[in-house]
Amino acid sequence: QKEVEQDPGPLSVPEGAIVSLNCTYSNSAFQYFMWYRQYSRKGPELLMYTYSSGNKEDGRFTAQVDKSSKYISLFIRDSQPSDSATYLCAMNSGGYQKVTFGIGTKLQVIP
Amino acid sequence: GAVVSQHPSRVICKSGTSVKIECRSLDFQATTMFWYRQFPKQSLMLMATSNEGSKATYEQGVEKDKFLINHASLTLSTLTVTSAHPEDSSFYICSARNARGDNNEQFFGPGTRLTVL
């Protein structure tokens, strides 16, 4: 079993839709959770960074962490064609610990 | 802020040659830099952690004599793929941790696509 599971997609949605991206994990020591956006042939860009359980909102993006279920989500409201990219979840136990990435979900927002 | 650059962005080389990839933090000091490899439709795989002024720490299964890492300053780390073979063809991405920022936040470079013929 992988430490982090993420559906690779692809996920296609119409412009303006609410997008839900998810990851599950098995390591209960993970405390820090991140979402990265990666455009084709580019490096990942940090979108959201949360600690422990709860919600965090930044513009059209909302990150949710449910540590009891070992489940994290990223919601994108009013999705735009420019949101089309691969979204990677990532997590670690904090400090200088190794970050473990999901495989990434490819999202396509259709105009 | 927090910009990381990589050079070159793309390199094609013949089998058996060595290739050097540079990773620079442009507007911050990075005591720690990371090197990842990403194969198509696969996740980022950490190869090694590079600390300024000390030897890199390699992940299990990564040959340290093949992937030479040097972190000579707080803004520069280099990865040299020695005697490259076609199976080394991949997307190599570095990231850097800001020495003064959140210890857990990494900023990624744009990546280097290596093709070994």
Radius of gyration in angstroms for the set of CA atoms belonging to chain B, rounded to a whole number = 13
Chain A residues with CB under 8 Å of B32 CB are 96
What pLDDT score was predicted for residue A58?
94
Name the strand (E) or helix (H) holding B55: none
Place of tokens 């960074």: A49
Structure tokens at B24: 């620079």
Instruction: Please state, rounded to an integer, the average pLDDT across all residues of chain B.
Output: 90
How confident is residue B29, by pLDDT bands cut at 50, 70 and 90? confident
The DSSP letter of residue A94 is: S
What is the distance between the alpha carbons of residues A64 and A20, in angstroms, rounded to a whole number? 11
Q: What does each C-alpha distance from A85 to A42, A44, A94, A104, B7 come to in angstroms?
A: 10, 10, 27, 10, 23
What is the distance between the alpha carbons of residues B14 and A76, in angstroms, rounded to a whole number? 43
**Closest residue in chain A to residue B102, using alpha carbons only:** A95
Question: What's the gap in Å between the CA of A44 and the closest CA on chain B?
Answer: 6
Which is it for the CA torsion B99, B101, B102, B108, positive or negative? negative
Question: What's the gap in Å between the CA of A110 and the closest CA on chain B?
Answer: 21
Residue pair A85/A39 in contact by the 8 Å Cβ criterion? yes
Q: How many CA atoms lie within 13 A of A86 on its CB side?
A: 23
| CB contact A77 to B (< 8 Å) | no
**Closest residue in chain B to residue A46, using alpha carbons only:** B107
Per-residue pLDDT reduced to its tens digit, A8-48: 999 999 999 999 999 999 999 999 999 999 998 888 998 99
Q: Give the residues across from A20 on adjacent strands.
A: A75
With 90 as the cut, is the pLDDT of residue A54 above it?
Answer: no
Q: What is the mean pLDDT of residues A61-85?
A: 96
Question: What's the gap in Å between the CA of A60 and the closest CA on chain B?
Answer: 21
Per-residue pLDDT reduced to its tens digit, B61-71: 999 999 999 98
Chain A residues with CB under 8 Å of B109 CB are 43
Per-residue pLDDT reduced to its tens digit, B38-65: 988 788 999 999 888 888 999 999 999 9
Per-residue pLDDT reduced to its tens digit, A95-110: 667 889 999 999 999 9
Closest CB to B43: pick one of A42, A43, A102. A102
Residue pair A87/A35 in contact by the 8 Å Cβ criterion? yes
Per-residue pLDDT reduced to its tens digit, B81-93: 999 999 999 999 9
What pLDDT score was predicted for residue A95?
66
| CB contact A95 to B (< 8 Å) | yes
Work out how many CB contacts closer than 8 A connect A with B. 47
Question: What's the gap in Å between the CA of A104 and the closest CA on chain B?
Answer: 7
What is the distance between the alpha carbons of residues B69 and B78, in angstroms, rounded to a whole number? 6
Residue pair A44/B111 in contact by the 8 Å Cβ criterion? no
